[in-house]
A and B are shown apart, each in its own frame.
Chain A
Amino acid sequence: MAAQQGDVDELFDVKNAYYIGSYQQCINEAQKQPRLFVFSFKPSSPEKETERDMFLYRAYIAQRKYAVVLDDIKANSPPELQAVKMFAEYLSSESKRDAIVADLDKKMAKSVDLNTDAALRTLHQGESLECMAMTIQVLLSLDRVDLARKELKKMQEQDEDATLTQLATAWVNIAVGGEKLQDAYYIFQEMSDKYSSTLLLLNGQAACYMAQNKWEEAEGVLQEALDKDSSHPETLINLIVLTQHLGKAPEVTNRYLSQLKDAHRAHPFLKDYLAKENEFDRLVLQYAPTATA
């Protein structure tokens, strides 16, 4: 069967759904029973099965259903799945994070959250598209668009049409800005046409629109995202930006902010926000009128 299909990736649907942020679909695909179909979804080898499970559990993680992962992956599961489990542990409890990272350093695996250098160093060893995509993401968070473009080029050489490459192209295009923004928009648009529109894709489109100062268009896209999930943190953040640019009353903006504070206290945006508030309070003390009434 494998020979017939040539280079067809039997896990395509599973991976694809995961990358575009369609997690439930990813889970559904991965859990499908084998069908009596030429393209049935019975992994052809144990390795493939492990790979499939990796995506399955990662999709659960993305849905923040850490418990499923922590319970499902047993001590005797393959090492790949152990890594996934560790990631779930890391995300599920803030208190244990340092310990996990320390543990990780010993075992040598990947983490991107805090230590970008270590992450890049680790990723540097990988050659899969996903490693490269992650590298690009780290580079972009470091504002190294130049290096990200180089890495993207490598990806494109490997497989230009892969979903990950396309997504990475869109990220880089957003960072580059200018005319590339429209390209990035089209990539997200194409993906949602082809598969289904997800929060990930919608927020990508919104970011493109907003970067082009097309606020009204962005509103439509974000509204759609909000309809899908009313407490999705990135959607809320984008709405905070958008409502102000649309000149809405400050109360509207504050509503989204409160919603965000309510549901996602640990989100980096809020951490930044609080830090900035403190900074403001500190800076205020530096100024005072020369006379008091």
Chain B
Amino acid sequence: MLTKFETKSARVKGLSFHPKRPWVLASLHNGVIQLWDYRMCTLIDKFDEHDGPVRGIDFHKQQPLFVSGGDDYKIKVWNYKLRRCLFTLLGHLDYIRTTFFHHEYPWILSASDDQTIRIWNWQSRTCVCVLTGHNHYVMCAQFHPSEDLVVSASLDQTVRVWDISGLRKKNLSPGAVETEVRGISGVDLFGASDAVVKHVLEGHDRGVNWAAFHPSMPLIVSGADDRQVKIWRMNESKAWELDTCRGHYNNVSCAVFHPRQELILSNSEDKSIRVWDMSKRTGVQTFRRDHDRFWVLGAHPNLNLFAAGHDSGMIVFKLERERPAYAVHGNMLYYVKDRFLRQLDFNSSKDTAVMQLRSGSKFPVFSMSYNPAENAVLLCTRATNLENSTYDLYSIPKESDSQNPDAPEGKRSSGLTAVWVARNRFAVLDRMHSLLIKNLKNEIVKKVQVPSCEEIFYAGTGSLLLRDADGVTLFDVQQKRSLATVKIAKVKYVVWSADTSHVALLAKHAIMICNRKLESLCNIHENIRVKSGAWDESGVFIYTTSNHIKYALTSGDHGIIRTLDLPIYVTRVRGNSVYCLDRECRPRVLTIDPTEYRFKLALVNRKYDEVGLIISSHLGSIVLHMVHEKTRFSLALECGNIEVALEAAKALDERSCWERLGEAALLQGHHQVVEMCYQRTKNFDKLTFLYLITGNLAKLRKMMKIAEIRKDMSGHYQAALYLGDVSERVRILKNCGQKSLAYLTAATHGLDEEAEALKETFDPEKETVPEVDPNAQLLQPPPPINPLDTNWPLLTVSKGFFEGAIAAKGKAGQMAADLDMDASGGEGWGDDAELQLDEDGFMDAQEALGDDGIGKEEGGGWEVEEDLDLPPELDMPAGAGGGAEDGFFVPPTKGMSPSQMWCNNSQLPVDHILAGSFETAMRLLHDQVGVVNFGPYKTLFMQTLSRGRTCYLGLPSLPCLRSHPQRNWKDCGAKQGLPAVGLRLSDLISRLQQCYQLTTAGRFEEAVERFRVILLSVPLLVVDNKQEIHSIRLEYIVGLTMETERKKLPKDTLEQQKRLCEMAAYFTHCNLQPVHMVLVLRTALNLFFKLRNFKTAAGFARRLLELGPKPDVAQQTRKILAACEKTLTDAHQLNYDPHNPFDLCAASFVPLYRGRPVEKCPLSGACYCPTYKGQICRVTQVTEIGKDVIGLRVSPLQFR
């Protein structure tokens, strides 16, 4: 049982909770009614009009009313807003025991010692019904919460249930008002007919003090002087005793049902409150007071709150903690609701039950610690008797069905608190308050001696915060030593910032914010209970009290953000969203306005530009007034605004502030403020000097007087010196016994009279009169020409930081310059070739590289044939290696490195290169695609090799260790590894795009170079499906090489021009992107047109139009086409037949018409005249033309 609030007063006889506000009414034996705010713990109002004890008290559910009934036979109806009694109902003839409002009708039910129960209409202020039948005092009478029933308890040992449906019908009938009016006169005569006794419950042996209905079930609970609590059940026709709860050993004063749980609460004159389990009829909890008998109980209609009145006051309490156990990691919130561990994703708001908890504990989970590395949780459960507390260790199932989650077996042990201290370690504070470190198997790894400690909290890896009676200690578990201690009483919760640089320690009414080293940064005191908190991303601590969301900066500035109706538990803060759990464990998101604390944070962090933005966008200068005086002072000094700083300093009135202000003001020449500061700090020396340099002789003289009064001899003398007041100096010297000095001063300055007087005082026998220096010079301060009354002039401030911030804002948006990538074609394309660049349509399946033959015999000969890196030592016989000193130790032989395994596991060339086995890699490439000239492969090989191994550092100064990233790391085991390739088809394709762009720009040679690198990279790919690589287009290389070649050719003779035309025509038969094809066709068209080969030109023109070129190009082409069609002949015979399909020889650039013998490059597939067989392929420059190979192998599937 948790006491939330306690009052001290006269005996409390009646209690009522307000249904919405945090208020409780207590009616006292001395005639006073008190209205308390139990959350703020304050007395709101007092109503003192009853004469003698007030026993009945009840809030109205909707109206600002309450009703009371007392021993003065009066029923009073009050308005708490107007703070007065509205009217009094008279009629009862003895003490009134209880008064209740009806939840719906304007009725009041009262029970009295005059043995009657009365129903009153508080609107007409009349008695509408009198229920007679009890033959002793009626101690209690209550309406049923929904039906037309009344239950009453009397000292005649019975509990009666009354049916008041007649009364209701009378009230609801059309002429209700008249009937009622008539009814008033006829109450005494006909009242009995409106309400009839339905059941009489007999069973108590003594007078019954209290009876109450169950909120939803047909049950009644009663408490009586026979010390028993009885439960009754009823139906339409009868009612019977269900069970009896025995345990109180004095009169039971009051008994009520728990509004939401299967519990009954009762209290008694035996000074105890007992909680009973309704189904088991056993006592669950007992709460005892030492001296006070209990008289009354009240249950809050909506919240889990109860109040109990006793001899010297009242308590407001709840039965159990309502704080949900939760833990936050990253974007995930883990919390316990009902018997489930749930997971909430903050980003997606997906809320799932991940696991069912083991049942068995009747206590709710107290706290939780989550371990993200192992996905495990520790759930701590506190028992009433702390020694019986336990914790459970669960590992959360990886996958779960939210509807029906798994219930994994947890590990349970006793212990107060369990907290993770490392990935695989947690600390347990056991009931002997010693600290155990356990591993994931829940086995004790070690015991740690700790300073006395009653609670432990998480404090980052390897550390804990230990709480003792008056402080918190940061403790290093591994080193077993305390690192730091901070004094704060009874910390309840600890909230670390995301980067663990700050920690907030929450106690009941205080918050302390510390840094990582547990140095206190600020202390905040709250009058209301502190509930929870979380750090927002900017380092502001957002916390909740019972009724507020508040913020705290690490500088100590804090304030309210918004109010709350009910307590919440903050789990996370992002921007203006506060994520929280309420008491029903429902995740909620509240929005807050973070302007105020952002502003203050910006001020504290001196981010004035941000301040400016906030001010300009939000609140204006109002915000300045919210700032903490100290912040304001610092800020003002920072800005050099002496006036504001002066104001703040006056408010603060601290010595250090005045000193700082004085310095700052002196720098600015603001000597009036300097003067004030010196005065405030009583800095007389400085003040004196200030008057001297400002030439303020009057004040300087005053300072001299002050010094004299203060008996500050040297200050006095100094002032006299400053003033040039010789006689004063003589006087001072004389007074302090420096006679000879006084004489000298007087004599030197020609004050003969005084010199003489002094001289006479010298005793000629003992003392000698000092010689006066004849060369003495007059020491006299220069008189001020013009005393400085005003401050130094200041330059007007150039530019405020706000203006600066706003000016800076304007600069954005100039970055909008985009590069016009749709540039027209470069020179390479000739005069009239231009095009738009828009290529994404090259993915159409065209041709596959190489052949698709799969699974030819490769033979087993590919095992690694030699260990490349074997150190020579290994050649020695193993046994002989052992030294003499350590006879038995045999150094181990070298193991198999992952890279060796790669060679064994794969026949793909790239795997061998990554493994560093160049020799086998080369052989594979040679056999698969016929590479014979490896020169161009060198950079590719070296690059590939260098990405095969990462490194990490072992012990300092030793060579680093190597790790081998593998592409099948998840399931390869020790032997089946294959290297991570690091070269992806998508990368090649994107590089291909660059090549296309180069092509478009007409930079053919560069493009060819790049195309070639891509082509060479193809055998070093690993793909799942060989089809994927079809899109690498080789014909570009042939075509572009030819085009480059063509450009170099002379065009002088007709033969040469014919050759040019032929090559242009061949180019149109390369497989190119449509954009490029347009360009190629236009070039060919122009050349042929110029050559007057109109027929062929017309063919090009038609092909060009089919590709759908740009309108202007199309128009021009149509014109040429029309011109060609006039004379559809060719002027010259060329070696070009567009209708006969042909391949192009990549070496000689002549057409190889179908059917004629041809040799191909095994890698690029380029065709050659048979004469070129055995030579290096012109396209790849690495492969041999016409070589007999097994084909490209780039996928492990090809070996299946």
Q: Hey, which bits of chain A sit against chain B, CB under 8 A?
A: 5-9, 12, 18-19, 21, 23, 39, 58-59, 61-62, 87, 91, 108, 112-113, 115-118, 120-121, 124-125, 130, 133-134, 137, 139-147, 160-162, 167, 171, 174-179, 181-183, 186-187, 190, 193-194, 199-200, 203-204, 206-207, 210-213, 233-234, 237-238, 240-241, 244-245, 247, 250, 253, 257, 268-269, 273, 276-277, 279-281, 283-284, 286-293
Contacts and interface: CB of A to CB of B under 8 A. Distances in A.
B883 interface: yes
B963 A210 contact: yes
Top 5 A-B residue pairs of the complex, sorted by shortest distance between their CB atoms: A291-B1174, A143-B895, A247-B987, A290-B1174, A245-B982
Interface of B: 373, 422-423, 425, 437, 445-446, 449, 460-463, 478-481, 500, 871, 873, 881-883, 885-886, 889, 891-898, 916, 918-919, 922, 926, 931-935, 938-939, 941-967, 969-974, 977, 980, 982-984, 986-987, 990, 1147, 1172-1176, 1184, 1187
B613 to A, nearest CB: 29
B977 A177 contact: yes
A143 B958 contact: no
Contacts of A18: 956
A177 B966 contact: yes
B946 A257 contact: yes
A117 B881 contact: yes
Given A146-B895, A203-B952, A291-B1175, A141 B961 contact: yes
Contact of B952 (A115, A161, A190, A207): A207
A234 B956 CA distance: 12
A181 B963 CA distance: 11
A144 B892 contact: yes
A3 B630 CA distance: 48
A288 B932 contact: yes
A143 B896 contact: yes
A91 B460 CA distance: 38
A120 B891 contact: yes
A34 to B, nearest CB: 17
A108 B892 CA distance: 20
B1010 to A, nearest CB: 11
Contacts of B941: 280
Contacts of A206: 950, 952
A241 B949 contact: yes
B926 A287 contact: yes
A165 to B, nearest CB: 11
A153 B961 CA distance: 20
Dominant secondary structure of chain A at its interface with chain B: helix
A49 to B, nearest CB: 20
A8 B480 contact: yes
Contact of B873 (A117, A190, A250): A117
A190 B423 contact: yes
Nearest to A112: B958
A24 to B, nearest CB: 12
16 contacts: A19-B955, A58-B957, A116-B891, A125-B885, A140-B954, A144-B895, A179-B970, A182-B373, A206-B952, A213-B969, A241-B950, A245-B965, A250-B939, A253-B943, A279-B918, A287-B931
A161 B425 contact: yes
B886 A124 contact: yes
A58 B956 CA distance: 8
A269 B951 contact: yes
A161 B478 contact: yes
Contacts of A207: 950-952, 963
A118 B916 CA distance: 27
A287 B951 contact: no
B374 to A, nearest CB: 9
Nearest to B891: A117
Given A245-B982, A287-B932, A276 B945 contact: yes
Contacts of B481: 5, 8, 39
Given A241-B949, A287-B922, A178 B969 contact: yes
A235 B529 CA distance: 51
B762 to A, nearest CB: 58
B479 A12 contact: yes
B954 A211 contact: no
A241 B934 contact: no
A284 B889 CA distance: 44
Nearest to B445: A160
A279 B945 CA distance: 13
B462 A187 contact: no
B905 to A, nearest CB: 14
A193 B984 contact: no
Contacts of A142: 892-895
A55 B378 CA distance: 39
Contacts of A211: 950, 963-966, 969
Contacts of A203: 951-953
Contacts of B500: 193
Contacts of A140: 954, 961
A289 B931 CA distance: 9
Contact of A284 (B446, B934, B953, B969): B934
Nearest to B874: A117
Point out which of B942, B948, B958, B1174 has the most chain A C-beta atoms below 10 A from its C-beta.
Answer: B958
A87 to B, nearest CB: 7
Contacts of A62: 956-957
A160 to B, nearest CB: 7
B1058 to A, nearest CB: 25
A9 B897 contact: no
A66 B894 CA distance: 32
Contact of B1176 (A117, A147, A283, A293): A293
A275 to B, nearest CB: 10
A257 to B, nearest CB: 7
Contacts of B891: 116-117, 120-121
Contact of A280 (B873, B881, B893, B938): B938
A91 B957 CA distance: 9
Nearest to A245: B982
A290 B1184 contact: yes
Contacts of A58: 956-957
Contacts of B886: 121, 124-125
Contacts of A144: 892-895
Nearest to B480: A8
Nearest to B934: A284
A270 to B, nearest CB: 10
Contact of B918 (A23, A117, A276): A276
B901 to A, nearest CB: 10
B973 A178 contact: yes
Contact of A143 (B897, B946, B959, B973): B897
Contacts of B1184: 289-290
B480 A276 contact: no
Contacts of A7: 480
B918 A280 contact: yes
Nearest to A117: B891
A211 B979 CA distance: 10
Nearest to B373: A186
A213 B956 contact: no
Contact of A186 (B423, B1173, B1174): B423
B956 to A, nearest CB: 4
Nearest to A288: B932
B986 A141 contact: no
Given A125-B885, A186-B373, A206-B950, A276 B942 contact: yes
A101 B1175 CA distance: 54
B931 A177 contact: no
Contacts of B423: 183, 186-187, 190
A102 B934 CA distance: 43
Contacts of B425: 161
A268 B952 contact: no
A273 B946 contact: yes
B918 A250 contact: no
Contacts of A250: 939, 943
A189 to B, nearest CB: 8
A144 B102 CA distance: 85
A234 B954 CA distance: 11
